[in-house]
Structure 1
Amino acid sequence: MDLFGGTISNLEQSLNYSATKNRTISSNIANVDTPNYKSKEVVFKEVLNDTLSNSFHAKRTNPRHIPFNSSKGAGHQIITNNRTTYNHNGNNVDIDKEMSELAKNQIYYNSLIDRINGKFGSLQTVIKGGR
C-alpha cells in the first residue's frame, strides 16, 4: 500500500532532476571563460522518447501472473553540446541562455518545494487530529 499515492516519490524525482539541472547550469556558468569547454544540459524528453520507443510489454496469460514493468533508471541524463562554438577560444557557453535557464529552474524548484511542504503540512494536520 502506497501511503501517499506516489506523490512524494514523484516530487522527490522532480527535485532530483531540478538539483541536477542546477548543478549542470552552475558548472556551465563557472566555465564560461574556460577554453574549449563545451556546455552541458540535462535532458528528460529524449530519455522519455527513447524509453517509450524501446518499451516492451509482457503478456499476462493468467491474472495470477506477476505484472511485468520495465524501468530505466533516473529519467534524465546530462549531455554535452559539441555542435556549436560561440567564442574564439572554442567555448560554447551562452551566458544569457544559462542565466535564464537558471532562473526558470529556480522557479520550478521553488514550486516543487511548496508542493511537498503542502503535502507534509496536510500529513501533520492529520496526525494532530485536525488541529
Structure 2
Amino acid sequence: MSIFGGTISDLERGLNFSALKQKTIAQNIANVDTPNYKAKSVNFADVFSDAKQSIISANRTNEKHFNFQMKVSTPGVYNYSNFRYNHNGNGVDMDKEQANLATNQIYYNALVDRVSGKLNTLQTVIRGGS
C-alpha cells in the first residue's frame, strides 16, 4: 500500500492535465495574430487514454547501442483544422481563450487546494494528531 497512491496520484494527473491545457491556451493567445494558425485544445479523456501509447522505445540489437525513448506527440492536444475565426485564416477566438484560461485557473487552484489538504492530513497523522 502506498501512502501517495490513489487520490494524490489522481490529483497529480489532474494537475498535469491543467498545466498542458494552460500551455495550449497560452500558445493560442500568443498566436492570435499569426496568419493561418489553427487554435489548439486539449481533451481530458485523450490525455489519460493516450498517455501510455505515446512513448516509443528503440529496439537494441547490440548492448553498445544507445537506449532511448521518444515521445511521439503531446497526447490529447488537437487542432481545430477547419475553423477560421479571422479573415487571415487564424482560428483563435480571444474571448473564448480568455474564458478557457479563467476556467482552467479555477480548476488548477481547486486541485492545488485539495492536494494541500491531503498533505496537511498526512502531516497531522505523522505528528500523531496534534
TM-score > 0.5, shorter chain as reference? yes
Matched, 1:3 2:3: yes
Tell me the residue number matched to 1:85: 84
Alpha-carbon distance between aligned partners in 1 of 2:5 and 2:87, rounded to the nearest angstrom? 52
Would you say how many aligned residue pairs link Structure 1 and Structure 2? Answer: 110
Question: Helix, strand or coil: the match of 1:107?
Answer: helix
Q: How does 1:102-121 map to 2 (within 5 A)?
A: 102-121=101-120
Question: Helix, strand or coil: the match of 2:124?
Answer: helix
Give ranges in structure 2 of 5+ residues lacking alignment. 55-74
Tell me the residue number matched to 1:97: 96
TM-score of the superposed pair, with normalisation by structure 1 = 0.76
Structural RMSD (CA): 2.1
Where does structure 1 differ by over 4 angstroms across 4 or more consecutive aligned residues?
none
Alpha-carbon distance between aligned partners in 2 of 1:89 and 1:72, rounded to the nearest angstrom? 36
Q: Which of 1 and 2 has higher RCO (CA within 8 Å, sep 6+)?
A: 1
> Percent identical across equivalent pairs?
57
Alpha-carbon distance between aligned partners in 2 of 1:42 and 1:128, rounded to the nearest angstrom? 41
TM-score of the superposed pair, with normalisation by structure 2 = 0.76
